[in-house]
Chain A
Amino acid sequence: MIRRSFMAALLAVPFVASAQAQQTVKIGLIVPMTGQSQSTGKQIDAAVRLYLQQHGDTVAGKKIEVVLRDDGGVADTTKRVAQELIVRDKVSVLAGFGLTPLAMATAPLAAQAKVPMVVMAAATSIITAQNPFIVRTSQVLPQPAAAMAQWAVENGIKSAVTLVTDYGPGIDAETWFAKRMKEGGAEVLASLRMPLASPDFAPFLQRAADAKPQAMFVFVPSGQGAAVARQFAERGLDKSGIRLIATGDVTDDDQLNGMGDVMLGVVNAGHYSAAHDSAVNKAFVGAFKAANPGMRPNFMAVAGYDGMHAIYQALVKTKGDTDGAALVEAMKGLSWESPRGPMMIDPQTRDVVHNLYIRKVERVDSELYNVEFATIPMMKDPAKP
């Protein structure tokens, strides 16, 4: 009984889909909407919807349709969903990819199907090298890590301990922070790696503190930053003369307010702040908040927004041609003014090139923000030649 109606329902789907295929360009958005990384998915989804709302759903004579799917942060689901989107929904572009393994699992498939993959979150450097159809609008972790080290060296920090989460992006951050520190004549006293699922950070922080560095450099995935920073303060490390420096993932705009005053004064390097001072950003933040009460856009949201922009601009350039290779070709070298500031898709590596800002957490109008005070202009991924 169930089986029969199931089959009937399934048989009906392809006809509906193919009838609309001519005028519609479908974008498959795969993000984690459930599970541990769900905040990433929700930010991206909200930003993508905002982009559609602001820019209309028609571009170059085609109607844009975004098909949102949840992968729960599980790699084999991401791949299966991507495959279904390509085969059944006939999407022209895949987008999203909340975590490195999710992007890595899908990369061979996208290459086989020649469908562009717009990476809106995953930040390990090697992702874009997986196939020639990957374009990234989020960030590459060596960027903030290198920027942070550069700033630390210039500001007289001679010794540091790195504290990162033990997976691809964390190791990227650790490697590039240490490299730039050494080049600047400073020392990394210890490199600590924490497991991805680690409820209590206290022992790691204590260990880092026992090495008595001038600064502690932290990278944890978006969502865990609050716990680290709070325990840093709770242990009195902020008063012991150790500076907490971090990538922007730790002082995530979405969660910064919930982290409380302990975050005040934390210096970090990132590519996007909701407090970025530009007309484009003010409009973006205002519209985002209006459309999603209770949320504040973070770097995930801006990557989703810019990802949509890259897809729209590429469609304009190809005059609506949805051939995968043509779309990727059109995205290469695109540059525009994003809410984060100027950005560009590197024509060689298809990776993101943008300003890196050194920011400090401050209270502005009763909310906590990352306030930018120094800029490293148009930084490429340092890990790529």
Chain B
Amino acid sequence: MLTILFDGIAYGMILFVLAVGLSVTLGLMNVVNLAHGAFAMAGGYVGVVLVNRLGVPYLAALPLAAVAAALIGVVLERTLYVHVYGKSHLDQVLFTIGLVFMASSAVSWALGSQQVFIELPGFLRQRFEVFGVSMGAYRLLVIGVCGALAVGLQVLLSRTRFGSRLRAAVDDPVVARGLGIEVGRIFLLTFALGSGLAGLGGALGAEILGLDPNFPLKFMVYFLIVVTVGGASSIFGPFLAALLLGVADVAGKYYLPAAGAFVIYSVMLVVLILRPQGLFAPRSGR
């Protein structure tokens, strides 16, 4: 029973790191970025190449994957995303679906279409018995890293100068510009942060989720669920939503295998109808 809970939490944490970048771009920058999963995939594949082919240690490869995904994010933001900030949501959907198609084909061409994993080092394959709960070292690492990230992000956005500038830039770009805040640069940094987190999530989660060229489409729905249920205006909303989703998904499959994903989708629908701003968002939007 507790093992299931533990697994669910680890799964939820992965979803959180993968989706939190989307929550930032969507909630703060108001860009519907369906290509978010492509950045996660990029991070994951960077991890695969580094660890499996070049022999870089696993723990060193994780930050490198994040940096690589962030860099890709920077390049794409400067060259392409800049042009769609002001466009309609329909345009953004179209544009990002196009990007997903391109990313999937490119990965399939460059690295093949078979599902791949990142080799885990031996010490992450151990298991511990704590109070009768069997836990894997890898899942413990996932929980630790993701928990720390959640706290760090919340602090970053609510306590630092960068955070307040970002919120100012989103609330009213014109006034923010007037106050001497470089809106373009803030957006760039935010976007890079979001893509970097996705890249980290992709590399960290590859063990559970697996990597293949179809990754962005396969998990897009899960990211969107996390963001919509959690609300896109805070860090803790998506965090709680991801945990809830992870635990519900794992427990649902364990206790009610016949119901499958049905429960999750229905819950999302109900939340959307009753609380369109998200379950954990303050009731009034801006």
Contacts and interface: CB of A to CB of B under 8 A. Distances in A.
Interface of A: 34-36, 38-39, 42, 192-195, 197-200, 202-204, 206-207, 223-224, 226-227, 230-231, 233-236, 254-255, 258-260, 262, 294-295
* Residue of A197, A199, A226, A259 contacting most chain B CB atoms (<10 Å): A199
Contact of A258 (B108, B115, B218): B115
B136 A38 contact: no
B7 A295 contact: no
A343 to B, nearest CB: 25
Interface string B191-216: 00000000000000001111011100
B11 A39 contact: no
B34 interface: no
Interface of B: 3-4, 7, 11, 52, 104-105, 108, 112-117, 119-120, 125, 127, 134, 136, 138-139, 207-210, 212-214, 218-219, 222, 249-254, 257, 260-261
Pairs of residues from A and B, 3 with the lowest C-beta to C-beta distance, nearest first? A203-B253, A203-B254, A38-B113
A36 B216 CA distance: 12
Given A202-B7, A203-B7, A230-B207, A258 B117 contact: yes
Contacts of A34: 104-105, 108
A381 B243 CA distance: 46
A36 B214 contact: yes
B31 to A, nearest CB: 26
B156 to A, nearest CB: 29
Given A38-B108, A193-B257, A203 B115 contact: no
Contacts of B219: 199
Contacts of B11: 200, 202
A230 B257 contact: no
A35 B3 contact: no
A330 to B, nearest CB: 34
Contact of B207 (A35, A42, A195, A234): A234
Given A35-B214, A231-B208, A223 B7 contact: no
Contacts of A193: 257
Contacts of B251: 203
B18 to A, nearest CB: 11
A151 B52 CA distance: 35
Contact of A195 (B3, B115, B116, B261): B261
A260 B117 contact: yes
A258 B7 contact: no
A296 to B, nearest CB: 10
B261 A203 contact: no
Contacts of B249: 200
Given A35-B214, A234-B125, A234-B136, A206 B254 contact: yes
* Residue of B113, B134, B209 contacting most chain A CB atoms (<10 Å): B113
Contacts of A200: 7, 11, 208-209, 249-250, 253
Given A193-B257, A223-B212, A231-B208, A202 B250 contact: yes
Contacts of B209: 199-200
A127 B210 CA distance: 31
Contacts of A198: 253
Given A199-B209, A199-B219, A206-B254, A254 B260 contact: no
Contacts of A206: 3-4, 7, 254
A203 B4 contact: yes
Given A35-B214, A192-B257, A227-B210, A260 B119 contact: yes
A193 B259 CA distance: 12
B210 A236 contact: no
Contacts of A207: 254, 257
